[in-house]
């Protein structure tokens, strides 16, 4: 664990390359099959390496270590454990950044499957999964599928009294615009504006900006 402390020190000094070298040494020491402590050390080292390589913009390496974390968790806890779903999302996000959208889609689908086993359909986890899946489909220009997942995310937020931010409705409006469904886009933008007013107040300067933007439709 002293390796990890040293890596944290280097990270706090923004000396990420040195932190990476220390963490790579740390994962050579533990032997996964020697017990849970070794598995935890290996998990922690690989997770930190994934984060550090992401900061450095080395996405292939980041994905490699997030994938190692995922496989360690599956071996330790089974492939339907809730902790595996969280790592699925990390790995999916890294694949999105690397423009590996098919792999990101598969991982998002796995995260949704696991969360459906463990969480309510209106949970924060479910919302995050649908929003990420929508992002993947937007990147693949599959706007109908993206819209489906954003609507599901909105429904989950409403059911769980989370509908207090406008970002999701703005994304829905943008997709309707991409599909040339302008009446529906206007409705989504107006809904977003109503939420934004309720949070910021109708006299907030940014409310006027949004009114000008949405009125262009």
What does the pLDDT look like over 64-104, one tens digit per residue?
989 988 988 888 888 888 888 888 988 999 999 999 999 99
Domains and their CATH numbers in the chain: 2-191 (1.25.40.10)
Q: Which H or E run contains 40?
A: helix 36-55
Distance CA 74, CA 69 (A): 9
Per-residue pLDDT, averaged over 19-34, amounts to 64
Q: Residue 109: which pLDDT band, with cuts at 50, 70 and 90?
A: very high
Answer for the pair 29, 3: CB distance below 8 angstroms, yes or no: yes
Residue 209's pLDDT is 47
Asked whether the whole model's pTM tops 0.75, one would answer no
Helical H segments across 98-181, by residue range: 101-118, 124-139, 143-159, 167-178
Q: What is the pLDDT of residues 156-207, one digit of tens each?
A: 776 555 555 678 888 999 999 989 999 999 898 888 888 777 766 666 555 5
Answer for the pair 162, 170: CB distance below 8 angstroms, yes or no: no
Q: Which class for 92: exposed (0-12), middle (13-18), buried (19 or more C-beta within 10 A)?
A: buried
Residue 211's pLDDT is 45
- Residue 51 pLDDT greater than 70, yes or no: yes
- Residue 6 pLDDT greater than 90, yes or no: no
DSSP state of 18: H
Tokens of 94: 């890294």
Tokens of 171: 């994304």
- Residue 23 pLDDT greater than 90, yes or no: no
Neighbours of 146 (CB within 10 A): 26
């Amino acid at each position: 664990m002293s390796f990890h402390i040293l890596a944290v020190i280097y990270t706090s000094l923004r000396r990420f390359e040195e932190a990476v070298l220390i963490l790579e040494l740390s994962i050579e020491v533990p032997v996964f099959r020697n017990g849970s402590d070794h598995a935890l050390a290996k998990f922690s080292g690989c997770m930190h390496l994934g984060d550090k390589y992401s900061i450095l913009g080395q996405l292939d390496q980041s994905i490699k270590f997030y994938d190692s974390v995922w496989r360690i968790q599956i071996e330790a806890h089974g492939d339907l454990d809730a902790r595996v779903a969280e790592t699925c999302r990390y790995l999916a996000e890294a694949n999105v950044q690397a423009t590996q959208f098919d792999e990101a889609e598969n991982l998002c689908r796995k995260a949704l499957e696991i969360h459906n086993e463990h969480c309510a359909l209106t949970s924060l986890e479910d919302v995050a999964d649908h929003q990420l899946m929508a992002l993947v489909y937007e990147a693949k220009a599959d706007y109908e599928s993206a819209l489906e997942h954003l609507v599901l995310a909105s429904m989950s937020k409403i059911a769980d009294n989370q509908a207090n931010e406008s970002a999701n409705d703005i994304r829905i409006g943008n997709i309707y615009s991409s599909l040339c469904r302008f009446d529906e886009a206007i409705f989504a933008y107006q809904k977003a504006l109503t939420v934004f007013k309720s949070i910021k107040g109708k006299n907030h300067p940014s409310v006027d900006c949004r009114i000008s933007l949405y009125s262009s439709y």
